[in-house]
Amino acid sequence: MPVVETLSVEQARHRRAEVLASVGGDECDLRERAARYLLSAEELAALSELDELDFLLSE
Amino acid sequence: MTTGDALVAEAQRFAAELTATVRAVVGDHVEAFHARALHRPGLDHVSVHQGPRTGIPLTVAGAPLLNLTAEYYCVWDSPGQFLAVDESAVKVYAGAKAAGEPLFRYEYTRATAGDVPGAHVQIHGHRDALAFVMTRAGSGSPRGQQLAGRVAQGTAVPRMSDLHFPLGGTRFRPCLEDVLDMLVRELGVDHAQAWRDALADGRERWRRMQVAAVVRDAPEEAAVALAALGYQIHLANGRTAPSGNRARLREL
């Protein structure tokens, strides 16, 4: 059975910072290279998680 | 059950359904889908995505050929009764991991913005990239076998037009208005002044007609939905409940 991870706002923000740091910390560069489809699998996975966390945190 | 508990339960149900679907095709070794929930009073968001994050490898004769990712962003529907998908993206990449540019993607956005249709397919792959994948098509299905046979015999070069992308089946297929709309919005085809309303009118007619057909396919679900809206649904005296059309609901 899949496990649901329940996050607080603080936990989501903390995780977002961790993910961004794992790919070098430059989100503009990451998104710019994503727009040109130049991301590695690990970078694409990180960007996917950043977008996911942004959605969860959105109001 | 609190709203937060209900949110988690719905997220778990949805992730379990997606997991079962993918495992039924790819195998039980596939990781379960992951779900995350962020609960705030009156503002619940849930995300569900495949595992691992780098995508689900799809193999042909045991060798990785393609990779699948599937992500869903969900919110409570307006009455707060079930999860509604706000955005979704299902993407297929060439290779063992999802990297670079997908070959194609199916996407959906509930709140359509601008001129992008809410549900759409985007083909990314250069013709050569798709042709390469097609030259390695597996023979485990009739059409795959046909394609692999033609490639093996050297009788034909695979073409993108050999691929048939599903678009909602008999009831939910796009209509002529959708195609004309796409040509105007995406390619700037010359159009009359009132084109937008005319196409919206035609699309509404089409979808209302299809709604009636869908109700005949699944009358029990229609009755439940109408009852939730406050209607009282009763079969007329002497009538037996129609069985619906399960085959239609299951076809591609």
Q: A-B interface: how many C-beta pairs under 8 angstroms? A: 86
Cα B203 from chain centre = 20
In a domain, B60, yes or no: yes
For residue B91, is pLDDT > 70? yes
Per-residue model confidence (pLDDT) at position B78: 61
Say what the alpha-carbon torsion angle B89, B94, B100, B103 is, to the nearest 10 degrees: -50
In a domain, B139, yes or no: no
Other Cβ atoms closer than 10 A to B108: 17
In a domain, B149, yes or no: no
In a domain, B152, yes or no: no
Q: Do B87 and A55 touch (CB under 8 A)?
A: yes
Q: Which residues contact B7 (CB under 8 A, 6 or more apart)?
A: B37, B39, B44, B46, B76, B83
What's the complex ipTM? 0.95
Give residue A59's pLDDT band: very low, low, confident or very high (50, 70, 90): confident
For residue B80, is pLDDT > 70? no
pLDDT, tens only, A8-46? 999 999 999 999 999 999 999 999 999 999 999 999 999
In a domain, B106, yes or no: yes
For residue B201, is pLDDT > 90? yes
Q: Do B36 and A40 touch (CB under 8 A)?
A: no
Beta bridge mates, B213: none
Distance CA B22, CA B33 (A): 9
Query: What range defines the domain where residue B228 resides?
Result: 3-124+159-250
Q: Which residues of A touch B52 (CB under 8 A)?
A: 45
| Interface list for A 3-42 with B (CB within 8 A) | 3-9, 12, 37-42
User: For the packed helices A41-57 and A27-35, what is the interaxial angle rounded to 10 degrees?
Assistant: 110
In a domain, B187, yes or no: yes
In a domain, B27, yes or no: yes
pLDDT, tens only, B138-183? 888 888 888 888 877 877 778 888 888 999 999 999 999 999 999 8
pLDDT, tens only, B59-74? 998 999 999 999 999 9
CA distances from B227 to B213, B231, B244 (A): 19, 5, 18
pTM: 0.88
State the DSSP code for B103.
S
Nearest CA distance, B188 vs chain A (angstrom): 24
Nearest CA distance, B13 vs chain A (angstrom): 8
In a domain, B176, yes or no: yes
